[in-house]
Chains A and B, each alone.
Chain A
Amino acid sequence: MQEPTLLLLTALADEPRHGYALMQEVVEISNGRVRLRTGTLYGALERLQREGMVRVEREEVVDGRARKVYALAEPGVTALAEETARLRAVATEAERRLALRPGLKGATA
């Protein structure tokens, strides 16, 4: 899974969000490293909808503009959980191996 996809699914993990809120969440989760622009975000959301990972929760009108609120669908929850478990396994193994290095003992605690 590419990082922007992981960040988008993570941004939707706790609650449904509209497009701009997702942009902000992605910036926050990645500590400002990843910034999805409008077209890229919209294309990614369309693709994730086609794949069944994301669904439109509801549509609302704010300041005269219609916008959709997106939510994580069940396949998206599963994919995110699997990717999280994979990353956690790698991180745990990396920490274990780093802890074996004499000079780094306690550094990863």
Chain B
Amino acid sequence: MTKDQTDGGSGLLRVALRAYPRAARTAHAQELAAIYAEATAGAGRVATLREAMDVAGHGLRLRCGLGGQGRADEIVARAAPLAVVLCAAQGLAYLAYVVVTALTPPQLAQLGGAYLTVLLDASGATLVWLAVLALLLSGRPGAARILGAIGTLGQFPVVLTALPGLGTGRLDAVCSALLPSLFVSLLLLAAPRDMLGAASPRDRLAVGWTGVLALVPYVIMLVVHRTQVTVPIVTLVWFVPAVLALALVLARRDAAGPIALGVAAVVGLLRFDVPELVRLDPAWTSSVAVLTAVVVVFAWRRWIDGGADGRTVRS
């Protein structure tokens, strides 16, 4: 390794260590630097950069309150595959709808170029999330995280290009196409790499049932054709697990599985509930948004401190 590379490596480490909260940096910087120095000795620029990014990722997780005394790490790691399967299954159901539409040419002809762009984006995103799910189930969490992040970044220019031509469909396009992908990508990045995946039969079963749950709203919409009935039901399907998870966190109940499912259900909330919320009276929308933010922040703080009451944490 040349002197330039050594200097570059330690410079990258200094930047990466800034991601840590001050107390954690003071406590762990020396040892992290020791491991990093040995791990990057003789390594190329790309390998050194990846090592520094991994250090920064650990620091950011600590800064967000993950990796502390509570079970936040475990819950995020268990929620991520469930959120991926929700995203993939909802995408598949949507594509099935598109295929049905394509079989009726008059309806397809009415779609403008912008809507076709959004459909193309949905197809691509679904393929990406199916691939991410396969990578997670086959024990390749690192590749799954990278693919999820790249796929989501790739969606932004496509949807932004289509937005001007969507008219009143802008809100639905953003909520259906971008927000769920963005949330799942962040969840994948937040989960510790060594805990990510669905290793146990119990985890795989949870993934399977979550996939089935993802289809519930579409089955309801298929069977019941009255929007005044389907809209409340479809919004409640995702609202219930998310609220239940919040209640469990606030009550400090040791229920990582249901809480993880509630976190994953945010994918459905973003896709189905947020558009309905935004369509409400602005005062209502603001009130609900502020109330939700306050409750989530309060629950988050309790979640982070979850281990302070002496509960054991299982792997």
Contacts and interface: CB of A to CB of B under 8 A. Distances in A.
A51 B313 contact: yes
Nearest to B200: A1
A44 B194 contact: yes
Contacts of B315: 1-2, 5, 47-48, 51, 53, 79
A38 B55 contact: yes
A102 interface: no
B298 to A, nearest CB: 24
Interface in A31-64: 36-44, 46-48, 50-51, 53, 62
Interface residues of B, number: 37
A79 B312 CA distance: 14
A39 B199 contact: no
Contact of B35 (A1, A4, A67): A67
Contact of B30 (A5, A37, A65): A65
A66 B315 CA distance: 29
B192 A38 contact: no
Among B30, B199, B315, chain A packs the most CB atoms within 10 A around the CB of B315
A35 to B, nearest CB: 9
A65 B32 CA distance: 10
Contact of A38 (B32, B197, B307, B314): B32
Contact of B34 (A1, A37, A43, A67): A67
Among A1, A18, A43, A67, chain B packs the most CB atoms within 10 A around the CB of A43
A19 interface: yes
A72 to B, nearest CB: 14
B59 A3 contact: no
Interface string B21-51: 0000000101111111111000000000011
A92 to B, nearest CB: 18
Contacts of B30: 65-67
Contacts of B59: 39
A51 B197 CA distance: 20
A2 B195 contact: yes
The 8 A-B pairs at the shortest CB distance, nearest first, are namely: A39-B58, A4-B194, A37-B54, A20-B38, A19-B35, A65-B34, A39-B54, A67-B34
Interface of A: 1-5, 8, 18-20, 23, 36-44, 46-48, 50-51, 53, 62, 65-68, 79
